[in-house]
Amino acid sequence: MSKITAKQAGHKNIPAFLDMIAYAEGTSTSRYSKDDGYDIVVFGKNSPRTFSDYSKHPNVLVTVRDEVRSPATGQVVTKALKSTAAGRYQILKRYADAYTTTLKLPDFGPLSQDAIAIRMLKEQGAIPLIEAGDFAGAVKKVSNIWASLPGDAYGQRTAHSPKLAELEEVYRKAGGSLATDPVQKVAKAGKEDTEEGTC
């Protein structure tokens, strides 16, 4: 469960959406995590799997996959992929540094990771959709950021990657609601009570 509260986030659907991203990225369900995915380093050949120093982004360059060449032609069939992704939302080092400065964050701890993820959602224009309960629309907006989501631009999804319906179920179980839910109207009506804590 994300550490940020619905009040701090500005709407109850936002922490639920964060939980969905963590599930899709495989961090919150990782058997290696001791902190609900906040301590995960992207998996790969040289990955330490986790980190414990939250004072800053761990900045471990992991080889996610090697370059593959055709035995017949020698041409590159699959490009090598390296990444510094870390934390519950698999944030790259360069983005962590930029957002830490912009948001004046004290560290790369759980609340800071939540704040960075929310800022990324805002920048992609997904927050209004999340608040309105347009789950599919919000996922589409941010699939260019998180490779685990349907419609990703990285080509990293596999046959085992979670489908939209599965992710929606995770989102619902985390307390998220959809525009089609009768309770969504109540959530909208009560939004003024939580506006104070918007990131």
Q: What is the pLDDT of residues 73-112, one digit of tens each?
A: 888 778 878 999 999 999 999 999 999 999 999 999 999 9
Question: Could you give all domains of the chain from N- to C-terminal order, each with its CATH number?
Answer: 6-37+91-197 (1.10.530.10)
Name the pTM for this structure: 0.84
Q: Of 25, 166, 168, 195, which residue is the catalytic one? A: 25
More confident residue, 155 or 73: 73
Q: DSSP per residue over the chain, as a string?
A: --SS-HHHHTSTHHHHHHHHHHHHHTSTT-TT-SSTTTTBB--STT--SB---TTS-----EEEE--EE-TTT--EEE--EEE--BTTTTB-HHHHHHHHHHTT-S-SSHHHHHHHHHHHHHHTT-HHHHHHT-HHHHHHHHTTT-TTSTT-SSS---TTSPPHHHHHHHHHHTT---TTSTHHHHHHHTGGGTGGG--
Catalytic status, residue 25? yes
